[in-house]
Amino acid sequence: MQAGLMNTYQHPISSRQTTAWFLSALLTLSYLLLYLGPIPALGVRWDVFQAGAEAAGLKSKWTLYGLLYTLAMIAGGAYVIRRHGSSRYQLIRTSVVVLVQITFGFSLPIVMKVFGQQEYYFSYFWPLKIEYLYPSTILGQPFLILAWSFLGSLVAFPLLAYFFGKRFYCSWVCGCGGLANTAGEPFRHLSSKSPRAWKVEQVSIYTVLFLALVTTAIVWVNWAIGKQHPDFARVAFKVQDWYGFAIGAIFSGAIGVGFYPLMGTRVWCRFGCPMAALLGLIQKFGRFRITVKKDMCISCGNCSTYCEMGIDVRQYAMANVDVKRAGCVGCGMCAHVCPRGVLKLEAKTDRFKGGTPIRVYAVDL
Amino acid sequence: MHYAILGNGICGMEAALFLREREADARITLVSDEHDHFFSRPALMYVFAGQTSLRDTEPYDRELYERMRFERVRLRVASVDAPGHALLFEGAARLGYDKLLLAVGSCGRPAPWPGSPGPGVHYFVTLGDLEGLDREARKGLRAVVIGGGLIGVEVAEILLNRGLPVTFVVRENWYFPLALDGNEAQLVTEHMHHHGIDVRLGVNVEEILRGPDGRPRAVGIVGGEEVPADLVVAAIGVVPNTAFLAGSALTLSKGGAVEVDDALKTSAPDVWAAGDCANVTWADGSRRPEQLWYTARDQGRLAARSMLGDDVAYRRGTWYNSAKFFDLEWTTAGWVPVLLNWDNTPIDPGPDVRSWFQRVPGRFVSQRIVVKGDRVIGFNFLGSRWDHEPLMQWIHERRSLRWVLEHLHEAQFDEEFMPRFRVLPTARLG
């Protein structure tokens, strides 16, 4: 068995019992309060988070949110390392993603503000942080940050995803994935593995990617011609606001984190993130895969159960087919929990010997 | 054509899927009284431990039966009327068939000691066993697990995890001599001690002692010692689940397995048997059942082909297996000699057969390579991961020990960043 995963199904909070629903409601409500400030419809007349921040001596509620987020990742990271630290992949990966959050995701932006700079998150890129390729952001930044942003989004990321898979970002750097893989760890088994969930995922995530591309294009066109066409400008600003609210606040925040206890940890990464969509497409043609050891699977289901992205890994293992899925974020947990060592995350051009695919009955691999 | 398959485990399910693939219109019926859905038997320990749900251990979605048009009968078969081509169920119901596959698997070998029958003595093979153990294994009860094999160590682990102090009683002088040598057994035993298991080696059980309430009180061992026990699990192997076949037209082996020919046909017309319950010919010529997940899967596929009229013969390829002792993964491939009899007398592996062995200091990791003359014939690895495919290939290629040691790292299958294999100065050939 896997030390640390035992009794997962006996904890009410990690098995969708009443406390899990309560936690989910609490998290979702917190995000709504954070993003919306006062919600008169719910009888909340003041900005709870802003008031909290000021009471704690912080200027902005976003600093308070960043602090809470980082603390959740540190605590969650310690929890993961205690449970899965016997795997060096899990130990190193968890340490790195927490350190990236502490430095680039929290401290550096604060330091920049202290020195009178506009804050900048060096670990986030377009299209996840869609405004980082908006003309308004670009024109306001020093050249080096501009270069970092452009080269990152358009050159380095596609190359890294091709050679190492999207895990280099989703599981090692990104703060969204970082929270999922630390504080969200007790919920990773709750992701749906059904073929229908996979269909929904494909429609949903590429729709968001499409919206991100369209929104970016509209913002740029508006920058070029908005002054001459005030009607277009009005629509463009509306689109920009709408994307920021619907995708940024509601999907990635309120649903993405709020639904951890109900739908598993990577709700946003799986169904919404445009960066994951883009990197996933590249990964599909790249070198990364999970190699399956031939004929050694005992169909126990630990790999599928603990896949936070809802990939039915077992179907691949039973069929002797290497796993090459756009969704896989390379967290490595399937390989770690496999009691027969059947799975191995790899990024290489060849393998020792080709597997012989056998019949597949449950899903279309 | 109506195919009836008795058993809804890996063997029966593989056969059913194969039959459906070749015959879209045949009627296929799966009969089992254990569960409505095929689940992974080796995963029962994870269900007990709450690491997965029972549903998680079902390899296919539940719509599979409908999609494949498999009919299901959830009844216990009382006997097989082979001349009449029918299954007779308890309660006198009857199901006719044209061709029948017996894939009934195993059940725990009954505990032979006086005092064994009755409450508090468990097995861990079937879903019923799991439910019984799950009901009774409460934190704080003292558990004694009897048997030095793979089920024993799994049961010891899950009971310990639930908070029961566990004494693990092993008849042989070292743990699992069927697959481990003395060095490896010592490593595994240290690992079990490290987790808090009280391992007693070379101990023969004499009887199960019960208190006035009829519950187990202790396990009496030869020599007079009593090991206190509130709960006993007998994990002393499995026997074919074929009691209901007594008196039928089928020929059974002395151990109760269904005698089959190379095409897995039984002595009765239109009846096949495969998996744990079938007596097959091993590579060494002996006739025994192969009680393994992998062979049950392969035999199920082969039995289906045989039922379809293909000219097939079951041949076990190069041996490979894997298991896990607490955190220690074990991979074996090729021929690894058994060195200890059950009565603790040593077995001579034969002339020229030696083992290259090394243990990594400070970690529960070891590698053993069996050579005959200079040729590598088997591998036994503990505590790290290996791809058995290249290992088996090297055996077929008749590679030398030196060549294999130079290339061994290519077969390592550990997670990234784990320590790489290297030959240690302490390695020795003996």
Nearest residue on chain B to A84, alpha-carbon basis: B327
- Kindly tell me the burial class for residue A221, based on how many C-beta atoms sit within 10 Å of its own C-beta (0-12, 13-18, 19 or more): middle
What does the pLDDT look like over A67-118, one tens digit per residue?
Answer: 999 999 999 999 999 999 999 999 999 999 999 999 999 999 999 988 888 8
CB contact under 8 A, A332 and B415: yes
CB contact under 8 A, A1 and B59: no
B416 touches chain A (CB under 8 A): yes
- Cβ-based neighbours of B242, under 8 Å, separated by 6 or more: B102, B104, B252, B256, B257, B258, B277
What does the pLDDT look like over B181-211, one tens digit per residue?
Answer: 999 999 999 999 999 999 999 999 999 999 9
Interface test with A, best of B46, B154, B297 (most A CBs within 10 A): B46
CB contact under 8 A, B52 and A194: no
Q: What's the rounded Cα separation, in Å, for the pair B313 and B306?
A: 8
- Cβ-based neighbours of A139, under 8 Å, separated by 6 or more: none
Mean pLDDT over residues A171-180, rounded?
97
| List of domains in chain B | 2-107+240-307 (3.50.50.60), 121-236 (3.50.50.60), 321-429 (3.30.390)
Task: Say if residue A156's pLDDT is above 80.
Answer: yes
Nearest residue on chain B to A189, alpha-carbon basis: B52
Interface test with B, best of A81, A188, A289, A340 (most B CBs within 10 A): A340
pLDDT at residue B91 in the model: 87
Q: A351: which chain B residues are within 8 Å (Cβ-Cβ)?
A: none
Q: What's the rounded Cα separation, in Å, for the pair A222 and A230?
A: 9
- Residue position matching structure tokens 């990104």: A174
Give residue B292's identity as a one-letter amino acid code.
Answer: L
CB contact under 8 A, A362 and B61: yes
CB contact under 8 A, A340 and B386: no
Residues 396-415 (B) with a CB less than 8 A from some CB of A: 410-411, 413-415
Task: Say if residue A176's pLDDT is above 90.
Answer: yes
Lowest-confidence region among A135-149, A196-210, B71-85, B318-332: A135-149
> Does residue A127 have a cis bond before it (omega within 30 degrees)?
yes
Q: Which of B238, B241, B235 is nearest to B122 (CA)?
A: B235
Task: Say if residue A354's pLDDT is above 60.
Answer: no
Nearest residue on chain B to A336, alpha-carbon basis: B415
A1 pLDDT band, cuts 50/70/90, is low
Q: A10: which chain B residues are within 8 Å (Cβ-Cβ)?
A: 50
Indicate the residue of B51, B385, B410 with minimum beta-carbon distance to A341: B385
Q: Which of B94, B46, B100, B37 is nearest to B70 (CA)?
A: B37
Nearest residue on chain A to B298, alpha-carbon basis: A295
A365 pLDDT band, cuts 50/70/90, is low
Angle, nearest 10°, between helix axes A61-84 and A88-100?
170
Lowest-confidence region among A359-363, B175-179, B268-272, B353-357: A359-363
Q: What's the rounded Cα separation, in Å, for the pair B413 and B424?
A: 19
Nearest residue on chain B to A2, alpha-carbon basis: B327
Q: What's the rounded Cα separation, in Å, for the pair A82 and A80?
A: 5
A315 pLDDT band, cuts 50/70/90, is very high
Q: Pairing mode, if any, of strands B428-429 and B205-210? A: unpaired
Numbered residues of chain A with Cβ closer than 8 Å to any chain B Cβ: 1-3, 5-10, 86-89, 91-92, 189, 194-195, 293-296, 298-302, 304-305, 314, 318, 332, 335-336, 339-341, 344-345, 352-353, 359, 361-362
CB contact under 8 A, B331 and A336: no
Reading phi first (left if > 0) and then psi (alpha if -120 to 50, else beta), residue B70 is in: beta
CB contact under 8 A, B59 and A295: no
What does the pLDDT look like over A243-265, one tens digit per residue?
Answer: 999 999 999 999 999 999 999 99
Task: Say if residue B314's pLDDT is above 50.
Answer: yes
Instruction: Please tell me whether residue B409 adopts helix, strand or coil conformation.
Output: helix
- Kindly tell me the burial class for residue B178, based on how many C-beta atoms sit within 10 Å of its own C-beta (0-12, 13-18, 19 or more): middle
Q: What's the rounded Cα separation, in Å, for the pair B51 and B389?
A: 29
Q: B157: which chain A residues are within 8 Å (Cβ-Cβ)?
A: 1
CB contact under 8 A, B51 and A6: yes
CB contact under 8 A, A352 and B410: yes
Could you tell me which residues are beta bridge partners of residue B200?
Answer: B169
Distance from CA of A361 to the nearest CA of B (A): 8
Q: A335: which chain B residues are within 8 Å (Cβ-Cβ)?
A: 415
Distance from CA of B223 to the nearest CA of A (A): 35
Task: Say if residue A11's pLDDT is above 80.
Answer: yes
What does the pLDDT look like over B147-189, one tens digit per residue?
Answer: 999 999 999 999 999 999 999 999 999 999 999 999 999 999 9
Interface test with A, best of B22, B51, B130, B153 (most A CBs within 10 A): B51
B321 touches chain A (CB under 8 A): no
Q: pTM of the entire structure?
A: 0.94
Q: Pairing mode, if any, of strands B143-146 and B231-234? A: parallel
CB contact under 8 A, B331 and A341: yes
Q: What's the rounded Cα separation, in Å, for the pair B269 and B36?
A: 28
| Token duo for residue B204 | 């023969």
Q: A12: which chain B residues are within 8 Å (Cβ-Cβ)?
A: none
pLDDT at residue A353 in the model: 43
Q: Which of B147, B174, B168 is nearest to B238 (CA)?
A: B147
Q: What's the rounded Cα separation, in Å, for the pair A274 and A128?
A: 6
Q: What's the rounded Cα separation, in Å, for the pair B72 and B416?
A: 44
CB–CB of B257/B289 below 8 Å? yes
pLDDT at residue A355 in the model: 46
Mean pLDDT over residues A4-28, rounded?
87
| Token duo for residue B180 | 């481990």
B51 touches chain A (CB under 8 A): yes
Q: What's the rounded Cα separation, in Å, for the pair A251 and B21?
A: 43
Residues 221-280 (B) with a CB less than 8 A from some CB of A: none
CB–CB of A104/A121 below 8 Å? yes
**How many residues appear in chain B?**
430
Number of Cβ pairs closer than 8 Å across A and B?
132
CB–CB of A198/A364 below 8 Å? no
B52 pLDDT band, cuts 50/70/90, is very high
Task: Say if residue A352's pLDDT is above 80.
Answer: no
Kindly list the distances between the CA atom of residue A9 and the CA atoms of A22, A137, B299, in Å, as whole numbers in the listed order.
18, 46, 34
Give residue B264's identity as a one-letter amino acid code.
Answer: L
What does the pLDDT look like over B108-125, one tens digit per residue?
Answer: 999 999 999 999 999 999
Indicate the residue of A3, A339, A341 with minimum beta-carbon distance to B413: A341
Task: Say if residue A235's pLDDT is above 90.
Answer: yes
B168 touches chain A (CB under 8 A): no
